[in-house]
Amino acid sequence: MSSTANLDVTLVQAHPPDVEHTLVDDDPRAWSKARKISTLFVVSGAAMIAGLCVVIQNPANAQIELLLHATTEQISLSLSLPILVQGNFPVVWSAVSEIKGRKLVYIVSVVLFALGSATVAVSKSIGLVIGMRIVQAIGASAVLTIGAATLADIYEPHERGTVMGIYYCAPLLGPSLGPIMGGVLTQTFSWRAVFWFLVIWGGIMFFAFCFLFRDTFRKERSLTYQTALKKRMQKLKRYSSEANSPTSGKREDGQNHVQIQKDVEAHPTPVNSVIVNDITLSFADINPFPSYVKILGRKHNFVVLIPSGLLFAFTYSISYTCARTLSLYYNYDALKTGFVLLSFGIGSLFGSVLGGRWSDRTLMRLRAANDGMSFPEMRLESTKAAMWWLPPAVTGYAWVCQEHVHVSAMCAMLFFSGFFSVWIYSSTLAYIVDSNPGRSSSAVAMNSLFRGASGFVAAEIAVPLQVCPTHSRHSYSVKHV
């Protein structure tokens, strides 16, 4: 009984009440401010990849369709399928990061992204373009999940709102600057230059992760890792019991059995240490799906993930549908369209930074009013300020597009739509991380899944609604929703 009791105590200690503050070697939260900031900038630079690779192709679509003899449906697939993959593949990256750490995932994913981009750049058929765009999306999807988890590794909960706001500026810069950069590269060189640019950016991020990034993952603070470790230790416990059972039955007086117990009692710590140190988990030990089921099983997660997906559907549909509207009714080329969409990006940047800071201030204010006690839902209070203004801003943008008014009005509505939508998202992203301690990467992976599925649907239905005879009213309804 004594050996069992000792082992059970060890297992309980592997699951502390506050898993985020378990003592670890080289605690990332104790790193210097300079190292934390450098980590933030490296991860943010990689996050820009995800936003760039989605929309930078838009100005080149006409050339791709002409030179590769592609159909409109094939061009649409080259845009929508990467969104779907980018939303679903983080589930895999998240599981890998819980075994091998963050750094290896970053390096492998960036290499995949660069290889996919290079292959697209030399492609001579639209089929190969679509296939390699999917490879691109697989590589770009990792940072969308692991990035937020990395920041959760190095920052305390009361700091995350501001940090998440700064971090999320990077993927927002992609959709904002992508159309401009894609337009310049396409008009100056050709559509292939767009993807060679992505190869260069991927190469820069590869060297940044190799030489400037230190892994932030600590297995002691991962519930996924600790759960797998507990299962492995239970198996070893059963094997040990089976191996020892014949020995304990040799003597009728039970002396051998008692002696074994005394040996274990005499050295409890070394036995447990050997068990823990000798275990190396593999992919067979990590089944990510129970973790995702637990996340979805919590009502508060599900309620927040749905609006997160809808916000992304709106954000993604803006770049494509706005470009089409400006081309058909304002005779704008790719470069001018990019400058108009920049207003949406600038609004999103302001909303991300200010919304994140307001989220932290709201959390601290409510915690002070609650005798120093806080809970993740306090952070959602900061979204109320933007919730009242987002519907009028989106409705105003839809009306401006429908009536074809002056482009300055469109820019204003795009700015406010981006500002209020991302204000809400920066707080909900921090909430998803805070409310799932020890499972931050899995929670963000589920967030990416909801966003990717919503973005795919938006990409597939937005253009058909625009080109139908009554596209104005349909467009208005879609954007209003």
**Is the model's pLDDT at 448 over the cut of 50?**
yes
Catalogue the long-range contacts made by 293-299 (C-beta closer than 8 Å, 24 or more residues apart).
294/439, 295/436, 295/439, 295/442, 295/443, 295/446, 296/446, 298/435
pLDDT at residue 2 in the model: 44
Residue 126's contacts (CB-CB under 8 Å, 6 or more residues apart) are 64, 68, 69, 70, 74, 75, 78
| Total structural domains within the chain | 1
Where does residue 472 rank: exposed (0-12), middle (13-18), buried (19+ CB within 10 A)? middle
pLDDT at residue 478 in the model: 47
Which of 2-11, 235-244, 387-396, 459-468 has the lowest average pLDDT? 2-11
Residue 204 token pair:
């820069």
Considering the domain boundaries, does residue 328 fall inside one?
yes
Confidence of residue 52 (pLDDT cuts 50, 70, 90): confident
Stated pTM of the model: 0.71
Confidence of residue 214 (pLDDT cuts 50, 70, 90): very high
Round the average pLDDT of the chain to a whole number and report it. Answer: 79
Which of 55-69, 163-177, 217-231, 252-266 has the lowest average pLDDT? 252-266
Residue 427 token pair:
């707080």
Rounded to whole angstroms, the Cα distance separating 290 from 286 reads 10
Q: What integer is the mean pLDDT of 393-405?
A: 90
**Is the model's pLDDT at 4 over the cut of 70?**
no
Residue 299 token pair:
């009502």
Considering the domain boundaries, does residue 271 fall inside one?
no
Q: Please count the other Cβ atoms lying within 10 Å of the Cβ belonging to residue 155.
A: 20
Q: Which residue has the higher pLDDT, 17 or 338?
A: 338
pLDDT at residue 288 in the model: 65
> What's the domain range around 199?
33-221+312-480
Question: What is the domain-level CATH number for residue 103?
Answer: 1.20.1250.20
Considering the domain boundaries, does residue 206 fall inside one?
yes
**Is the model's pLDDT at 117 over the cut of 90?**
yes
pLDDT at residue 425 in the model: 86
Considering the domain boundaries, does residue 287 fall inside one?
no
Query: DSSP state, 235?
Result: H
Most confident range, picked from 13-27, 343-357, 397-411:
397-411
E strands, 16-129, where?
Answer: none
Q: What integer is the mean pLDDT of 226-244?
A: 70
Rounded to whole angstroms, the Cα distance separating 385 from 428 reads 13
Rounded to whole angstroms, the Cα distance separating 122 from 124 reads 7
**Is the model's pLDDT at 345 over the cut of 70?**
yes
pLDDT at residue 134 in the model: 94
**What would the pLDDT profile of 268-322 be if each residue is shown by its tens digit?**
333 333 344 445 656 665 666 777 777 888 888 888 899 888 888 888 778 777 8
Considering the domain boundaries, does residue 251 fall inside one?
no
Q: Which residue has the higher pLDDT, 450 or 59?
A: 450
Considering the domain boundaries, does residue 258 fall inside one?
no
Rounded to whole angstroms, the Cα distance separating 238 from 187 reads 68
Considering the domain boundaries, does residue 238 fall inside one?
no
Considering the domain boundaries, does residue 156 fall inside one?
yes
